Structure 1
C-alpha cells in the first residue's frame, strides 16, 4: 500500500518510542504493547500509521502477534536489540489477562482519595471499553480498576445495562453541538454527522452499542435528534419523511463506524493487522484476477487503492446529502 511522506516518518517515530520502552524494560517479554487503537489515541495518528509502526517492530522480531490476545513483546536474548527488556522470564500472554486501560489505572490509584461516585464509575468503564472493547466491560472489571468491591458499584448503577446507558450518555455529552447553528440545512446536518463520526472514532464501542430499531433512552443523544429535525422541518417535507431522513443519516454514520470496532476485534482474534491479513489473501485474490473475469478490479488493484475510512465516510456523507437536496427540490 502507498505510504506518503508524512505518515511514514510518524510511524517510524512511534516505533522508535515503543522500541525504547522495550529496551528500558517498561514493556517486558509477554507484555501487551499498545494496540493500533491505543496508538491512534496516544499519538493522534491514523490507523494506517499505527499499523505501520507495529508492523515495523514485528519485522524486527521485537513483538509478536498472539491470536486472541493481540501484539505482545517477544522473548529476546540478553544481547538483542531490546536490551534491558531481555533476560526476564516470559509470561504467558494468554494467562496474563487484560492490562488495565491507562486512564483507568490512574483512576484506580486515586480511587481511595475520595468517595466513589457515579461519574467515577462511568468514566472508568468508558476507559476500559475504549482500550479493550465493550466485551471487556463488566461490573467486576470496573470494580477491579477502581480498587473497590463489585457490590460497591451497585450503589451507583443498577446493573450492567444501566452502566452501558450511562456510558453512552457520557460519550454523547462530551462533544456538545455548537450554540449557534449554521443557517443552511446541509451545513447543519454536516456538522452533526461529523461530530457523530468523531465520537464513534474516539469510542469504537459506541456505534455497535447504539440500536436503531430499539433506541435507548440516552439524554445526551437527544440534542442530535433535535438538531437534525429542526434542520429539515418546515422545508416542504412531511414529518415522517423528516424523521426518516434523520434516521438514514444517523444509520449511515453508525454503519460506517461499526467497521472500526469490527477491525479491532478481528486483529485481536487473529493476531494479524489489516496489512498482514491482506498479504495472506494476496495469492487467492491474484488467482481470481488472473482469470481475466474482473478487469476493472484488476486495474484498481494494480493502481494500489488504499481504503481510508475517513475518506469513505466523507464521500458517502456528501452523496447522502445530495440525495436529500433532490428530495427538497434543490440542485445538489
Structure 2
C-alpha cells in the first residue's frame, strides 16, 4: 500500500494515465510491458497485468499483436512476420511453447488456450495444430521446458548440501513459473525428461550417502513435496492480487479491524497472544528458508 493508501496497481495505472493524457506517451506509442512495469515500479507481475488491463478497459491503450500494448488513437505499423527456411517455419514447437509460457507466466494457466497463444504469435489458431496436437500436449511441453531450466551444478559430496541446492533451485524455478507447481502431479507424475534429470541428480546425491533405496526415494519426494506445496501459493497469490489490486501485505492490513473483532470475545487466547507478540510478515521466501532448514535437520536427525 502506498503512503496515500492507494493499491499498487491503482498507483501505477494513475502514473501511466497521467503520462498518456499529458501527451508524454503519444497515440501509437508503446506502453511499458508487464515486465518493464515490474522492474520499474517494483511490483508483482500480477499487479503489472492489472495495470494494463485497467488502462485497456478505460480505452487508453490497445493491444497490437506482434507489437504489444500501445496508446490508443493511431494506427501502428506491425512488423513483418519473420519467416524461417526451416521445415518448422516461424511457428516451430519451440516458438509455440515459449509463447505459451509467456502467457502462463503473466496471466496464469487459466488464461492458456491455443487461441490465446496464437494471438501472442500473431498466427491463425489452426496453424498451431500442425506442430502441437492440442492444449494438453502444449502444457506438457511447457512443463518440460520450465523444469529443464532448473540449473544444478556438479553434485556435492555432502547429501544435506545437495538437498539444499536442489530445493533452492526448484524454488527459484517455481518462482519464475508460478503455474508450474499446480501443473505437476506427485501421485500421477508426468513423464517429463527435465523432471527425470532433476530426480536423477537428487537420487544420485542420496545414493552416494549410502542410504537404502526406499529411504532415498522417500526423502527425495518429501523435499520435492515441501517445495512444491509452498510454491502452490505463488500463483494463487498472483491471481488474488490481480483480482483485488492489492498485494498480500495490503490485503492483510485491510483485515486488521475484522480480525480484531473476530478474537475480541477472548475465545482464542493462544492465537491472540502469539500474534500480538510479534510483527509477522507473510514472506513466502522467508517461510521457505525456515521450513527447509528444519526439514533438513529432521532428516539428518532420523537418517
Q: Normalised by the size of structure 2, how large is the TM-score?
A: 0.77
Matched, 1:119 2:114: no
Alpha-carbon shift at residue 102 of structure 1 (Å): 8.6
**Correspondence for 2:87:** none
Which whole-Å deviations, capped at 9, do the CAs of 1:110-154 have from their partners, x for residues lacking one?
Answer: 643432211111111101111111111111111111111111111
Cα distance, 1:45 vs structure 2: 5.0
Q: CA deviation at 1:101?
A: 11
Aligned to 1:83: none
Q: Superposition RMSD on alpha carbons, in Å?
A: 4.0
Deviations 1:165-199 (A, max 9, x none): 11111112223211x22220011111110010001
Partner of 2:231: 257
| Aligned residue in 2 for 1:229 | 203
Instruction: Report if the CA contact (8 A) 1:143-1:150 is conserved.
Output: yes
Counterpart in 1 of 2:187? 213
Question: How do 1:130-279 and structure 2 match up within 5 A?
Answer: 130-178=105-153, 180-279=154-253
1:10-47 deviation per Cα after TM superposition (whole angstroms, max 9, x unaligned)? xxx9998765533221599xxx9977xx5785359575
Cα distance in 1 for partners of 2:19, 2:172 equals: 35
Q: Structure 1 residues 34, 103: CA separation in 2 closer, same or farther (over 3 Å shift)?
A: closer
Q: Which runs of 5+ in 2 are unaligned?
A: 71-77, 85-89
Task: Report the counterpart of residue 21 of structure 1 in structure 2.
Answer: 16
Distance 1:119-1:228 versus aligned 2 partners, 3 A rule: same
Q: How does 1:73-84 map to 2 (within 5 A)?
A: none
- The partner residue of 2:257 within 261, 279, 283 is 283
* Residues 66 and 79, structure 2, Cα contact 8 Å, conserved in 1: no
Distance 1:140 1:27, change over 3 A: farther
- Structure 1 CA distance, aligned partners of 2:104 and 2:80? 20
Distance verdict in 2 for CA 1:133–1:118, change over 3 Å:
same
**Offset, 1:92:** 10
Q: How does 1:306-321 map onto structure 2 within 5 Å?
A: 306-321=281-296
* 1:101–1:17 Cα change, 3 Å: farther
Structure-2 change in CA distance of 1:19 and 1:252 (3 Å): same
C-alpha distance in structure 1 between counterparts of 2:142 and 2:69, whole Å:
14
Following the alignment from structure 2 to structure 1, what is the Cα–Cα distance between the partners of residues 267 and 19?
54
CA distance in 2, matches of 1:273, 1:166: 31
Q: CA shift at 1:284, angstroms?
A: 2.6
Q: Find the aligned partners of 2:57 and 2:169 in 1 and give their Cα distance.
A: 46
Corresponding residue pairs, total: 279
> Do the aligned partners of residues 295 and 253 (structure 1) sit closer, same or farther apart at CA in structure 2, a change above 3 Å counting?
same
Change (3 A) 1:266 1:120: same
Pair 27,261 (structure 1): closer, same or farther in 2 beyond 3 Å = farther
